[in-house]
Structure 1
Amino acid sequence: MAVLTLTDEFTSPVVPKRVFKALILDADNLMPKLMPQAIKSVETLEGNGGPGTIKKITFAEGSHIKYVKHRTDALDEEKLTYSYTLIEGDDLLDKIESISYEMKFEPTPGGGCKGTNVSKYHPKPGVQINEEEVKAGKEKAMAIYKGVEAYLLANPNVYA
């Protein structure tokens, strides 16, 4: 089966460096605090945060997915880019070998940022990926992003 590639773009009035610090560099600490109803914990299983690091995200009670594991593939704090691969998950990976993500944050003329996320879904042999399920998952991810954005707007000195 072919790889399904989706590209999402979003904008924010928050400068890219702050979004990157909150959403990428300090996500392990920030996400469970901001969204305990969605994310129970993030723990580093291997590595120091750079390429090769393996993290386990445990979701809150009631989620249809209990956990996933991500591997950091690339992290560039100057260029504000981050690539990682979802390599393990309970319910999710019955149909999917892996999902790779490439994220980039750029400044916009008005002082905010534009974020781009390219997702590549690698299905297991003989499996067709349901785009509607993928879109539902992306909506949940966007809700997390919007929660971080709201936090940054309400706290202008955090991650400055």
Structure 2
Amino acid sequence: MGVVTYSQEFTSAIAPLRMFKALVLDSHNVIPKIVPGGIKNIEFIEGDGGVGSIKQTNFGESSHIKYTKHRIDALDVENFYCKYTLIDSEIKFDKIDCVVYEVKFVAIDGGCVCKMTSKYHIKEGCELKEDDIK
């Protein structure tokens, strides 16, 4: 089994603490509001948002996917860092065992940089290209 890593960064004029709170700690309330129609709701099906909690994202009718489930693996509020794993979806991936995501917000003058890394754990004997991920 191999791992394909895909990284991206974006800059925001918003402070890292505020971004972290909105997009990580309070994502279950904020994201459905900023993606209306695309995401119906996000709910905790296990835990309360801490490490080990499982969140289910339910997508809107127009989406090609119905739901995903993610487990929170690490949460460091002081350093604006979160690591979580895609553990279930109604879409069965033929090449992927799981996807591990890491998100970190880093302060810069006038805002922050969001650094996101996705690690695609590939099933034995399969190949995954960056275009497949995109």
Q: TM-score per shorter chain, which class?
A: over 0.9
More helix by share: 1
Separation (CA, whole Å) in 2 of partners of 1:117 and 1:55: 19
Shift of 1:120: 0.2
- Scaled by the length of structure 2, the TM-score of the pair is 0.93
Letter in 1 for 2:50: G
Q: Are residue 63 (structure 1) and residue 67 (structure 2) matched?
A: no
- Aligned-residue RMSD, C-alpha: 1.3
Residues 115-144 of structure 1: per-residue CA shift (max 9 Å, x gap): 111110012222222422312xxxxxxxxx
Separation (CA, whole Å) in 2 of partners of 1:15 and 1:57: 26
Q: Which aligned runs of 4 or more in structure 1 are off by greater than 6 angstroms?
A: none
Secondary structure of 1:24's aligned partner: helix
Separation (CA, whole Å) in 2 of partners of 1:90 and 1:16: 33
- Scaled by the length of structure 1, the TM-score of the pair is 0.79
Q: Are residue 119 (structure 1) and residue 118 (structure 2) matched?
A: yes
Secondary structure of 2:100's aligned partner: strand
Shift of 1:98: 0.5
Letter in 2 for 1:128: E
8 Å CA contact 2:6, 2:130 repeated in 1: no
Q: Percent identity?
A: 49
Q: Are residue 128 (structure 1) and residue 127 (structure 2) matched?
A: yes
Separation (CA, whole Å) in 1 of partners of 2:83 and 2:106: 15
Q: Counterpart of 1:41?
A: 41
Shift of 1:32: 1.2
Letter in 2 for 1:71: R
Q: Counterpart of 1:8?
A: 8
Secondary structure of 2:22's aligned partner: helix
Letter in 2 for 1:8: Q
Separation (CA, whole Å) in 1 of partners of 2:81 and 2:60: 28
Q: Are residue 29 (structure 1) and residue 29 (structure 2) matched?
A: yes
Alignment of 1:53-92 (within 5 A): 53-92=53-92
Q: Counterpart of 1:98?
A: 98
Shift of 1:91: 1.4
